[in-house]
């Protein structure tokens, strides 16, 4: 099972020779050229490959070639793709099914007619996967139900906590909107949060009750389409693991400082992104080894403590020594986790034919 998603990374300068293009920025920087980066994770959350496209590449065109290369590179016989709403189109699903690949794909509820008109209208009761938790460490509440439209299998998922939050947020917007409408402000139509609930009338605007009712149908829900034989609950839980990829992209942009990109040549841009990806592979492996030892350490603490660990050269009586600074914080645990012995506090450097060892 592989999890796939993409993000965009913008350039501070002019961007790459052919990779740097203007496109839909996920960082809301449409004024900058960018590249599109895709990452694939395995079932245990390990990064296994990354891909780079010009900044104007469409997500829906990236899924098929990535899986093709993945299958060929790793000699994979069967694969199950887990991807988000932006990854799919009718043509993509048709091609995936033609190749007999298994998939769990998010569906755009508002835009996909069958999901909007048929799937969400299904009246069968939900099945509880996780009830409402008693404390913050409990899983988020989750209910699921299966809906078949001809031979197409959909899974409708519901988080009641999220549904209540979205309903409350909408009510707050409507209360504010009602107050502003009393003042007759036509500027309201420029506000996206307000505009979705307005309709035009002869004297200006008024709240559209039909839009409110329609929007409430989506509260706390998401819809998946799958051709697997997994239980509906397992389908929903596997899809939720896709959020690991989103966390990965946040790590790419912040923890390993992939952005901003100042390189100009395509080759150096590719190298820059690959080094970031390689850093994430090492980060994931180290985190796994620490967890196996029962140590749940914050990554920023690990990096800070390792940065403090230094060796300096000292000369005394025509001899040279390496002095190691004190091991602080998580350093000792990190060395243990990876099976590396901590260097002695003091060790003499041997000199052989003028070369230091």
pLDDT of residue 195: 75
The confidence score (pLDDT) of residue 167 equals 94
pLDDT-derived band at 100 (thresholds 50, 70, 90) equals: confident
How high is the pLDDT of residue 179?
A: 80
Name all contacts of 281-285 with Cβ < 8 Å and 24+ positions apart.
Answer: 281/46, 281/47, 283/251, 283/255, 283/256, 284/45, 284/46, 284/47, 285/46
pLDDT bucket at 221, cuts 50 / 70 / 90:
very high
Q: Residue 220 has what pLDDT? A: 94
CA distances from 145 to 120, 129, 237, 305 (A): 11, 10, 13, 48
Mean pLDDT rounded to a whole number for the chain: 85
The pLDDT-based confidence of 86 (bands split at 50, 70, 90) is low
Q: What is the pLDDT of residue 55?
A: 86
Res 14: pLDDT: 72
Cα distances from 244 to residues 66, 83, 84, 335, in angstroms, run: 18, 12, 12, 26
User: Are 306 and 333 spatial neighbours (Cβ–Cβ below 8 Å)?
Assistant: no
pLDDT over threshold 60, residue 33: yes
Has residue 259 got a pLDDT over 80? no
Average pLDDT (198-208) is 79
Model confidence band, residue 188 (pLDDT cutoffs 50, 70, 90): low
pLDDT score, position 59: 63
pTM, two decimal places: 0.74
Give the pLDDT band (50/70/90) at residue 261. confident
Average pLDDT over residues 157-162: 95
The pLDDT, as a whole number, for residue 122 is: 94
Give 137-149 pLDDT, tens digit per residue: 788 899 999 999 9
pLDDT digits (tens, 9 = 90+) for 313-330: 998 888 899 999 999 999
């Amino acid at each position: 099972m592989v999890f796939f998603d993409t993000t965009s990374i913008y350039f501070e300068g002019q961007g790459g020779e052919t990779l740097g293009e203007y496109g839909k920025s996920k960082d809301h920087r449409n004024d900058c050229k960018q590249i599109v980066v895709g990452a694939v994770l395995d079932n245990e959350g390990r990064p296994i490959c990354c891909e780079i496209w010009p900044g104007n590449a469409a997500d829906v065109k990236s899924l098929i070639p990535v899986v093709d290369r993945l299958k060929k590179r790793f000699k994979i016989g069967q694969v199950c793709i887990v991807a988000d709403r932006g990854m799919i189109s009718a043509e993509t699903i048709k091609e995936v099914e033609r190749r007999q690949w298994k998939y769990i794909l998010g569906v755009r509820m508002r835009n996909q007619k069958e999901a909007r008109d048929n799937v969400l209208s299904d009246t069968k009761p939900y099945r509880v996967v996780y009830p409402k938790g008693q404390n913050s460490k409990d899983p988020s509440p989750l209910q699921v139900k299966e809906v078949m439209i001809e031979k197409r299998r959909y899974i409708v998922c519901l988080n009641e906590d999220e549904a209540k939050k979205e309903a409350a947020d909408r009510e707050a917007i409507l209360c504010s909107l009602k107050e502003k409408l009393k003042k007759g402000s036509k500027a309201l139509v420029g506000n996206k949060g307000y505009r979705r609930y307005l309709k035009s009338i002869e004297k200006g605007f008024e709240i559209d009750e039909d839009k409110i009712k329609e929007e409430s149908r989506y509260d706390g829900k998401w819809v998946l389409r799958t051709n697997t034989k997994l239980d509906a609950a397992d389908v929903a839980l596997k899809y939720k693991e896709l959020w690991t990829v989103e966390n990965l992209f946040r790590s790419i942009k912040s923890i390993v400082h992939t952005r901003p990109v100042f390189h100009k040549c395509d080759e150096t841009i590719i190298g820059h992104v690959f080094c970031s990806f390689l850093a994430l592979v090492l980060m994931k492996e180290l985190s796994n080894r620490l967890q196996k030892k029962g140590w749940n350490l914050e990554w920023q603490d690990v990096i800070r403590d390792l940065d403090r660990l230094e060796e300096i050269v000292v000369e005394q009586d025509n001899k040279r020594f390496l002095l190691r600074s004190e091991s602080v914080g998580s350093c000792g645990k990190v060395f243990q986790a990876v099976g590396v012995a901590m260097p002695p506090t003091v060790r003499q450097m041997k000199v052989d034919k003028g070369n230091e060892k």
